[in-house]
Amino acid sequence: MPVWVQLGYLVAAVCFIVALKGLSGPGTARRGNLVGAAGAVLASVIVFFERDLDHVVPILIAIAVGTVAGVVGAQRVQMTQMPQLVALFNGVGGGAAALVAVLELHEFVEEAETGVNLTEFDLVATAFTVLIGSVSFAGSLVTFAKLQELMTTRPVVFPGLAVAFGGCLLAGLVLSVVVVVEPALWIGVLLGVLGLTLGALLVLPVGGADVPIVISLLNASTGLAVAASGYILGNTLLLVAGTLVGASGTLLTRMMAAAMGRSLTNTLFGALKGGSTLGAGAVSDRPVRSAGPDDVAILLGYANRVIIVPGYGLAVAQAQHSLRELVDVLGERGIQVDYAIHPVAGRMPGHMNVLLAEAQVPYEQLKEMDEINGDFKQTDVVLVVGANDVVNPAAKTTPGAPIYGMPILNVDQAEQVVFMKRSMRPGFAGIENELLFDPKTTLLFGDAKQTMSKLLNAVKTL
């Protein structure tokens, strides 16, 4: 490998570190991402000079195909569907790593026949990449299907799931050992198939609300698979980049889980033990107080302090633009209005910020949970739009509830609470919200978009 190529890889690795650093601050995030992209482009160009490669033309065509597919997918996706796209991108990355390792195993086996000695480390890393890469691929596809609602978002549990999972895991370990001791291509392929099964079994029992944590975890594991493939191929850039993603992804997974008040093991295996995110799902017929847009307009228009709690339902109904207008009109009336953003509002931590930013809501009006939770006591009206679990007091009061322990927005401390809801259907976690039946709560039923514009007009005519 020419020295300048190695130095080029070093530059790319530094780009990735700078990118991750940049991505953790609001002011530098976009530039950070571009630096990362520059590093990736640099690496993809100089790889062609690393050694003599055959089939350069088909490879370039494949890169062109992948580029078009990636760009079109990334440009076309609705911002509400972005979590599943990230899952999909992660999955294909894991799949690529697994395929690379299978091909490398094929080469190892041929080399072994010509008398070249293989080190165990190479084979261990190969087995690891095949297994983890395919787990990540299948797991991400199931995650995608859940978020896209191609299948149920509830945990899928069947009798013997735990046994099947344990069995596959054990078989995976045994096969990994076999690959190391007696390398053969077909065992590698079998290992990949086992990995696919394991990935699916791992994600099926996870409830919809916990899926983001799993995406992050699979993201970290793809990183580790890439790192291992770097070792196999003797490529430092792959090792460094993969390890960076593996390490930061693991930390990120833990931070997300903490924000949701869940432990990782509970997220993954809670459904197996029973009573995790399995909600009652029954629609209660207890009495609630509902009102029309005009009543709510009066409530809002004569308040001094209003806090908006947006949820995923808002974005799905595409009501965020009308909401922003409403907030503007209220602001003109001299009312102090802020948005309270729960860390997991939307379907992923930070997802709601993306969705509101798309509607051009000023960044300063978006208040994080810790920042605003003390303000609810002095708030006249809280308007909850399409959110449910993140304001559910059961997280504090009901030890048995699936969301128990999750930090929530203290909406229940406000003077008045208005829920804008489509129906009495429970939230993503599938549990009933006591706050809906509270005497100070008013429900405004209807499609978020239509109701929001009615509300907006009503406030304008006050």
* Interface with another protein, residue 241, by CB under 8 A: yes
Single residue of 207, 270, 343, 426 touching another protein by CB under 8 A: 343
Which residue, 75 or 461, is less far from another protein as judged by CB? 75
Only one of the segments 215-223, 408-416, 419-427, 449-457 lies at the binding site for another protein (rule: CB under 8 A); that segment is 215-223
How far apart are alpha carbons 146 and 270 in whole angstroms? 17
Which residue, 240 or 381, is less far from another protein as judged by CB? 240
Single residue of 124, 145, 169, 248 touching another protein by CB under 8 A: 248
Within 8 A by CB and 6+ apart from 243, the residues are: 223, 224, 227
Site for another protein in 402-461 (CB under 8 A): none
* Interface with another protein, residue 348, by CB under 8 A: yes
Contact between 386 and 317 under an 8 Å Cβ cutoff? The reply is yes
Single residue of 7, 10, 34, 177 touching another protein by CB under 8 A: 34
* Interface with another protein, residue 8, by CB under 8 A: no
Within 8 A by CB and 6+ apart from 250, the residues are: 217, 220
Residue 353: half-sphere exposure toward Cβ, Cα within 13 Å:
15
- Closest by alpha carbon to 42, among 69, 1, 6, 86? 6
Which residue, 19 or 326, is less far from another protein as judged by CB? 19
The helices-and-strands tally (H runs, E runs) of the chain is 17, 6
Q: Compute the least distance from the CB of residue 14 to another protein, in Å.
A: 10
Only one of the segments 58-66, 153-161, 289-297, 443-451 lies at the binding site for another protein (rule: CB under 8 A); that segment is 58-66
Site for another protein in 65-84 (CB under 8 A): 65-67, 69-71, 73-75, 77, 79, 82-83
Per-residue binding letters, 111-130, with another protein (x by CB under 8 A): --------x-x---------
Within 8 A by CB and 6+ apart from 381, the residues are: 299, 300, 303, 305, 306, 307, 414, 415, 416, 417, 418
Phi, psi for residue 72 in degrees, rounded to 5: -60, -45
Q: Compute the least distance from the CB of residue 343 to another protein, in Å.
A: 4
Active-site position among 210, 389, 412, 438: 389
Mark whether 389 is an active-site residue. yes
How far apart are alpha carbons 457 and 453 in whole angstroms? 6
Residue bearing tokens 């514009």 = 453
Neighbours of 187 (CB within 10 A): 20
* Interface with another protein, residue 259, by CB under 8 A: yes
Instruction: Work out whether strand 305-310 and strand 336-341 pair parallel, antiparallel, or are unpaired.
Output: parallel
Within 8 A by CB and 6+ apart from 97, the residues are: 129, 132, 133, 136, 222, 225, 226, 229
How far apart are alpha carbons 16 and 14 in whole angstroms? 5
* Interface with another protein, residue 186, by CB under 8 A: no
Size of the site for another protein (CB under 8 A): 111
* Interface with another protein, residue 24, by CB under 8 A: yes
Single residue of 150, 362, 374, 425 touching another protein by CB under 8 A: 362
Q: Compute the least distance from the CB of residue 453 to another protein, in Å.
A: 22
Site for another protein in 121-180 (CB under 8 A): 121
Only one of the segments 55-63, 157-165, 326-334, 394-402 lies at the binding site for another protein (rule: CB under 8 A); that segment is 55-63
Catalytic residue list? 389
